[in-house]
């Protein structure tokens, strides 16, 4: 253990290059370009009041030796506007690992914020649980939506970052779809004669030289029931784009879908006043940094 305890402080704009170097060193399968692109997006986002722009770093002798990226946003949960914080990439150099738990605790102290972790590595599960985090998602559903029937003549439209208006869609949801299209996600609406239903899907990227499944991750919907209702139309739309499989957060098989449920991956944790809902990964690291 170092003789001098490291200092914890908020990440500033001037730290971004050093943080990218630190994360590239800590996550060897992610390139520096990956981190810089995500940090640039994070630096341009709107934030709730009194929220840090990037998160916090652990510093020793004037150099970062650890960091925890925090992505703040506001979400509507059961009709209430809630301040949420996605605890994103957490890394500490081996020499300073004894301070890692204290570092994480010191940076997650606000009682009005719901903190959540959508990519917890298996070895960190006991640490998160000791810090008071609870599981809200236990696994993943792998579905073939194209096998579902198209209910009520649903039609699918693609939304781009330049889309100016969608009849029947509230402005805040259109902005969410446009924003995520700008991140490189697939933003869609499913339209019937009476309603317009928004969706965001995350693209899977090649990692460690492995070609990903021909699949998309469900990144946003108002509720999972919307995906079930629109699955047929969405599935046919996605099949023509070479992605017949949709991965969704779940706590068991999803009724009404042709799916397989697995708890091998996908566990997610939260701590705070409101439990996140399944099907809302908007404005998280999975969107801003990519999968």
12 and 126 in a single domain? The answer is: yes
Q: Average pLDDT for residues 259-276, to the nearest whole number?
A: 95
Give the whole-angstrom CA distance, residue 152 versus residue 233: 10
- Cα angle 147, 152, 156 (rounded to 5 degrees) comes to 70
Domain final residue, candidates 137, 152, 170: 137
Domain final residue, candidates 137, 167, 184: 137
Which of 98-107, 173-182, 221-230, 280-289 is least confident?
A: 98-107
127 and 156 in a single domain? The answer is: no
Q: Is residue 284 part of a domain?
A: no
179 and 88 in a single domain? The answer is: no
Q: What is the DSSP string of 203-239?
A: EP--BTTBPPPSEEEEEE-S-HHHHHHHHHHHHHHHH
Q: Average pLDDT for residues 212-241, to the nearest whole number?
A: 93
Q: Is residue 288 part of a domain?
A: no
Give the whole-angstrom CA distance, residue 201 versus residue 181: 9
| Token duo for residue 241 | 């784009």
122 and 183 in a single domain? The answer is: no
Residue in this structure with the two tokens 């299209």, named with its chain if needed: 181
73 and 160 in a single domain? The answer is: no
218 and 104 in a single domain? The answer is: no
Which of 11-20, 60-69, 105-114 is least confident?
A: 105-114
pLDDT attached to residue 208: 52
pLDDT attached to residue 207: 58
Q: Is residue 283 part of a domain?
A: no
pLDDT at 282 > cutoff 60: yes
Number of domains in the chain: 2
pLDDT at 5 > cutoff 70: yes
pLDDT at 4 > cutoff 90: no
* DSSP code at position 189: E
Number of C-beta neighbours around residue 17 at 10 A: 13
Q: Is residue 214 part of a domain?
A: yes
Tell me the pTM. 0.91
171 and 194 in a single domain? The answer is: yes
pLDDT at 201 > cutoff 90: yes
Query: pLDDT tens digit string along 35-86?
Result: 999 999 999 999 998 999 999 999 999 999 999 999 999 988 777 888 999 9
3 state DSSP class of 88: strand
Return the bridge partners of 196, or none: 191
Beta strands in the chain (DSSP E): 7-10, 55-60, 63-77, 80-92, 113-117, 134-137, 139-143, 155-159, 186-191, 196-203, 215-220, 245-250, 259-262, 268-271
Domain final residue, candidates 119, 137, 155: 137
Cα-based distances in Å from 18 to 31, 204, 256: 14, 27, 48
pLDDT at 18 > cutoff 90: yes
pLDDT at 291 > cutoff 80: no
pLDDT attached to residue 214: 87
Q: Average pLDDT for residues 203-209, to the nearest whole number?
A: 67
The CATH number of the domain holding residue 33 is: 3.40.630.30
Sequence-distant (6+) residues with CB within 8 A of 255 are 228
| Token duo for residue 48 | 């709730």
18 and 76 in a single domain? The answer is: yes
148 and 90 in a single domain? The answer is: no
Q: Is residue 108 part of a domain?
A: yes
More confident residue, 107 or 136: 136
Q: Is residue 27 part of a domain?
A: yes
85 and 179 in a single domain? The answer is: no
Domain that holds residue 201: 140-266
Residues 157, 159, 165, 169, Cα dihedral to 10°: 70
Q: Is residue 279 part of a domain?
A: no
pLDDT at 220 > cutoff 90: yes
87 and 203 in a single domain? The answer is: no
pLDDT band at 2 (very low <50, low <70, confident <90, very high): low
pLDDT attached to residue 1: 57
Q: Is residue 249 part of a domain?
A: yes
The CATH number of the domain holding residue 157 is: 3.40.630
130 and 146 in a single domain? The answer is: no
């Amino acid at each position: 253990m170092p003789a001098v305890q490291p200092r914890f402080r908020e990440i500033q704009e001037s730290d971004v290059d050093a943080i990218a170097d630190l994360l590239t060193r800590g996550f060897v399968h992610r390139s520096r370009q990956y981190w810089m692109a995500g940090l640039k997006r994070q630096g341009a986002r709107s934030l709730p009041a009194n929220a840090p722009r990037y998160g916090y770093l652990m510093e020793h002798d004037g150099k970062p030796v650890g960091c925890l990226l925090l992505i703040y946003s506001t979400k509507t949960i059961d009709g209430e506007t809630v301040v949420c914080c996605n605890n994103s990439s957490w890394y500490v150099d081996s020499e300073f690992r004894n301070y890692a738990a204290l570092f994480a605790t010191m940076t997650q102290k606000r009682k009005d914020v719901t903190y959540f972790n959508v990519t917890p590595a298996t070895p960190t599960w006991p640490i998160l649980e000791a810090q008071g985090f609870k599981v809200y998602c236990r696994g993943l559903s792998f579905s073939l939506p194209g096998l579902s029937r198209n209910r009520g003549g649903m039609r699918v439209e693609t939304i781009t970052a330049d889309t100016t208006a969608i009849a029947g869609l509230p402005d805040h949801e259109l902005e969410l779809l446009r924003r995520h299209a700008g991140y490189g996600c697939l933003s869609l609406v499913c339209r019937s004669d009476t309603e317009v239903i928004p969706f965001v899907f995350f693209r899977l990227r090649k990692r460690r030289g492995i070609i990903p499944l021909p699949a998309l991750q469900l990144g946003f919907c108002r509720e999972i029931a919307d995906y079930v209702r629109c699955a047929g139309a969405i599935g046919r739309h996605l099949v023509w784009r070479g992605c017949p499989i949709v991965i969704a957060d779940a706590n068991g098989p999803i009724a009404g879908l042709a799916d397989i449920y697995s708890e091998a991956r996908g566990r997610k944790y939260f701590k705070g006043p409101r439990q996140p809902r399944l099907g809302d990964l908007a404005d998280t690291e999975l969107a801003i940094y990519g999968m």
